[in-house]
């Protein structure tokens, strides 16, 4: 079958294959006995077929012998339940047994394959944290204590940082400190937040161990590990700094009408994590997944469309899970590039082949960049803290907040990067802060000076509330931003599920808010919109404040989508931000550029053809056809990649 595979790969234009991701038990079937002849054969076959390899370190799923001999390397849940072998990813990230065994395996892999001509990239582990983002076992408890000691130095400082006088939690000895295991009610929030930081760091340490072996024995070969979009447990800002190339796995739900918007957002995040460098779509499905309750198939053309979308958002490569649909095992009902049945009668195979052939015409895109005038502040620590329990409303969710701000940008083809609050923001015209519940002094200072220096900023409610210890910033909410925003929030009035409140804009336009409302006392800020009726009647709901050389807006409720779109449209226009293209609804337009040359991506997210007005002529790289200024026709789920004027 392997020879047939290579032939089919050539037919589909495949030039990079991820290999060996879950092969540990094959490569090392007994402790210390490495069997690589079979893998050599695959590597050689691929190379002979002109196909390069993204070779896995194979550490993502330990072999059964390891946990049989060392059950202490198995992870434990917060309830103390051990997770056994028999699925995958059953390891405690802090386990010296796991770390040692995986390091030895990577040493074997790296020395054996460093000079293999097929090797193009190293794939460390797989989707770190996907199934086991944190471990609560005794080994992890000890590692957590060491991590805390390094962070706080003394037990007194830990007590202060965690506010342990509340509920009699004061620790007198490091040995008393535990991971936030199952407790009668909420564990200490600062402890939970530190445990999330620790858990992200522990998995990163596993990655680092492998990374160090690879750079030593296989220098010059790029190293990656595949991300999972907005994956909460891992602080990808930290992780991406340790990767040569950012790669991502994207599994849109075809039954989600906003799937296209969500994968665009993920693409922008990946580009931003790589600080603008091109990334690679490491995994997507050719049609269905197997892990939802109902696994809706992609519509004909949708896989191709979403592949182009990744490229439009900055990817230089498009890959899949899985190559050939497996016959046995947990993922045999997951679609593949090559289906169970004959390829000749598979529409999916036809689309895979078409995409592969077309991508070969897109060399001009490789290495090109995306330029954004808008930045969206997004911080993992703030996300973790925001979604801890025991809040005025646990309905405020980080991803939903991001989407509320992203949706109008996506609909209008305005490009945005994601940034950390402490990043240099000077190249942006507009900064959006959908929610920044937790912020340190440095982040607050950076955002404030962005506005002072002439920038425009929009901040959402319940931002600037806690410091990095999860203690309240005192002095009136949101204390770190009160001067910049020209207001104080005197009281929070969260809205019940299903409750909404009228919002009246200064120009007479009306909308509504839900989820949240608050009593804003302005001190310099002007109301852009006010609440209408109820306890907050005529009090400000949305404000604007001229601060230094810039302008800061504040949004004190969750506006309905039309009002949010109207507000942001006014704001970005005033800030001098322009859309990529003003076209028909449902058509996504993006540009990548090389110097002053630009490539325009047009993506039709609708199942019917549409005409898009183009200002410039060019060439459609997808099929080499000339493009004229004027109306350009895109078929159902159609995609075009237009080299503009060159």
Sites of contact with Zn ion (CB under 5 A) = 92, 135, 137, 139-140
Tokens of 487: 């207001």
Burial readout 152-172 (b: 16 or more C-beta within 10 A, e: otherwise): beebeebbebbbbeeeeeebe
> In this structure, are strands 630-634 and 610-614 parallel, antiparallel, or unpaired?
antiparallel
How many whole angstroms separate alpha carbon 1 and alpha carbon 354? 23
Instruction: Give the β-pairing of 16-19 and 52-56.
Output: parallel
**CA–CA separation, 407 vs 397, rounded Å?**
15
Three-class HEC string of 190-244:
HHHHHHHHHHHHHHHHHHHHHHHHHHHHCCCCCEECEECCCCCCCCHHHHHCCCC
Residue 611: name the closest of 645, 586, 576 by CA. 586
Q: How far is the CB of 347 from ligand GAL (least distance, A)?
A: 20
| Helix boundaries (H) for 15-89 | 24-27, 37-48, 64-69
Shortest separation between residue 124's beta carbon and ligand GAL, angstroms: 13
Instruction: Name the β-bridge partners of 16.
Output: 52
- Compute the least distance from the CB of residue 116 to Zn ion, in Å: 35
Least Å from the CB of residue 4 to ligand GAL: 23
For residue 472 the two structure tokens come to 């309240």
Q: Which is nearer to ligand GAL, 206 or 627 (CB)?
A: 206
Decide: helix, strand or coil at residue 563: helix
- Which option in ligand GAL, Zn ion, none does residue 568 bind, with CB closer than 5 to 8 A by kind? none
Give the tokens for residue 133. Answer: 């983002």
Cross-strand pairs, 123: 56, 224
Binding partner of residue 140 among ligand GAL, Zn ion, none, CB cut-off 5 to 8 Å per kind: Zn ion
Name which of 139 and 245 has its Cβ closer to Zn ion: 139
Q: Which is nearer to Zn ion, 191 or 272 (CB)?
A: 191
Radius of gyration for the alpha carbons in the chain, expressed in angstroms and rounded: 26
Tokens of 179: 């991971």
Q: Please, which residue, 89 or 580, has the CB nearer to ligand GAL?
A: 89
52 binds, among Zn ion, ligand GAL, none (CB under 5 to 8 A by kind): none
Q: Which is nearer to ligand GAL, 53 or 431 (CB)?
A: 53
Q: Which does 124 bind (CB under 5 to 8 A by kind): Zn ion, ligand GAL, none?
A: none
Please state the closest distance from residue 333 (CB atom) to ligand GAL, in A. 11
Rule CB under 6 A: which residues touch ligand GAL?
126-127, 130, 249, 251, 283, 289, 321, 331, 334
Contact 633, 608 (CB under 8 A): no
Closest approach, Cβ 328 to ligand GAL, in A, equals 15
Q: Annotated catalytic, 127? A: yes
Binding partner at 137 among ligand GAL, Zn ion, none, C-beta below 5 to 8 Å by kind: Zn ion
Find the shortest distance in angstroms from Cβ 181 to Zn ion.
11
**Minimum separation from the CB atom of position 285 to ligand GAL (A):** 6
Nearer to ligand GAL, 126 or 598 (CB): 126
The one of Zn ion, ligand GAL, none whose footprint includes residue 249, by CB under 5 to 8 A per kind, is ligand GAL
> For residues 321 and 632, which CB has a smaller minimum distance to ligand GAL in the complex?
321
Both tokens assigned to 322: 């899985």
Is the distance from CB of 92 to CB of 73 less than 8 angstroms? Answer: yes
Q: Please tell me the distance from the alpha carbon of residue 530 to that of residue 501, in angstroms, as a whole number.
A: 10
How does DSSP assign 439-462, residue by residue? --HHHHHHHHHHHHTT-EEEEESS
Q: Tell me whether residue 94 or residue 563 sits nearer to Zn ion (CB atom).
A: 94
Cα 622 to Cα 600: distance, rounded to the nearest angstrom: 12
Is residue 415 within 8 A of residue 371, CB to CB? The reply is: yes
Cα separation, 331 vs 65, whole angstroms: 23
* Given the residues 28, 210, 283, 399, the one annotated as active site: 283
Catalytic residue numbers read: 127, 283
């Amino acid at each position: 079958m392997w020879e047939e595979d290579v032939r089919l790969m050539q037919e589909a234009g495949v030039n990079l294959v991820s290999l060996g991701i879950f092969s540990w038990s094959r490569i090392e079937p007994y402790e210390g006995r490495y069997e690589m002849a079979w893998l050599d054969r695959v590597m050689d076959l691929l190379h002979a077929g002109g196909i390069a390899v993204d070779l896995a370190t194979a550490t993502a799923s330990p072999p059964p012998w390891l946990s049989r001999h060392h059950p202490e390397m198995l992870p434990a849940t917060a309830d103390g339940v051990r997770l056994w072998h028999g699925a995958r990813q059953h390891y405690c990230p802090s386990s010296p047994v796991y770390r040692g065994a995986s390091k030895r395996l990577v040493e074997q892999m790296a020395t054996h394959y460093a000079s293999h001509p097929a090797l193009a990239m190293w794939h460390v582990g797989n989707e770190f944290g996907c199934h086991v983002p944190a471990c609560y076992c005794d080994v992890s408890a000890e590692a957590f204590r060491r991590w805390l000691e390094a962070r706080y130095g003394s037990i007194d400082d830990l007590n202060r940082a965690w506010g342990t006088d509340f509920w009699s939690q004061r620790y007198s000895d490091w040995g008393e400190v535990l991971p936030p295991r199952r407790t009668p009610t909420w564990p200490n929030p600062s402890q939970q937040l530190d445990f999330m930081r620790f858990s992200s760091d522990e998995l990163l340490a596993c990655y680092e161990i492998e990374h160090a072996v690879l750079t030593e024995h296989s220098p010059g070969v790029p190293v990656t590990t595949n991300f999972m979009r907005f994956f909460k447990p891992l602080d990808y800002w930290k992780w991406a700094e340790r990767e040569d190339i950012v790669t991502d796995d994207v599994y849109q739900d075809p039954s989600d009408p906003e799937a296209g918007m969500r994968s665009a957002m993920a693409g922008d995040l990946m580009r931003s994590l790589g600080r603008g460098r091109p990334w690679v779509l490491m995994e997507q499905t050719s049609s269905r997944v197997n892990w939802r309750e109902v696994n809706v198939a992609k519509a004909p053309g949708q896989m191709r469309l979403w592949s182009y979308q990744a490229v439009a958002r900055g990817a230089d490569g498009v890959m899949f899970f899985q190559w050939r649909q497996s016959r046995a095992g947990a993922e045999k009902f997951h679609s593949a590039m090559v289906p169970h049945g004959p390829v000749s009668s598979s529409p999916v195979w036809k689309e895979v082949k078409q995409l592969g052939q077309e991508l070969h015409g897109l060399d001009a895109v490789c290495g090109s960049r995306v330029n954004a005038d808008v930045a969206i502040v997004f911080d993992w620590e703030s996300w973790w803290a925001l979604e801890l329990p025991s809040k005025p409303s646990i309905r405020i969710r980080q991803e939903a907040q991001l989407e509320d701000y992203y949706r109008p940008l996506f609909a209008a083809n305005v490009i945005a990067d994601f940034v950390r609050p402490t990043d240099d923001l000077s190249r942006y015209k507009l900064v959006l802060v959908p929610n920044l519940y937790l912020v340190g002094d440095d982040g607050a200072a950076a955002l404030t000076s962005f506005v002072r220096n002439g920038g425009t900023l929009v901040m959402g409610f319940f931002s600037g509330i806690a410091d990095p210890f999860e203690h309240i910033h005192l002095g009136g909410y949101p204390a770190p931003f009160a001067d910049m925003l020209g207001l104080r929030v005197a009281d929070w009035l969260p809205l019940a599920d299903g409750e909404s409140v009228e919002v009246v804009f200064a120009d007479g336009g009306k909308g509504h808010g839900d989820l949240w409302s608050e009593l804003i006392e302005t001190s310099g800020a002007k109301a852009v919109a006010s609440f209408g009726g109820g306890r907050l009647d005529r009090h400000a709901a949305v404000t604007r404040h001229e601060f230094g050389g810039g302008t800061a807006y504040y949004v004190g409720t969750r506006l309905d989508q039309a009002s949010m779109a109207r507000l942001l449209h006014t704001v970005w226009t005033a800030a001098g931000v322009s859309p990529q293209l003003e076209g028909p609804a449902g058509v996504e337009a993006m540009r990548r550029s090389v110097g002053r040359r630009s490539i325009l991506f047009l993506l039709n997210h609708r199942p019917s053809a549409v005409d898009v007005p183009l200002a410039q002529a060019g060439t459609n790289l997808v099929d080499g056809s000339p493009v004229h200024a004027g109306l350009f026709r895109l078929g159902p789920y159609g995609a075009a990649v237009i080299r503009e004027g060159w």
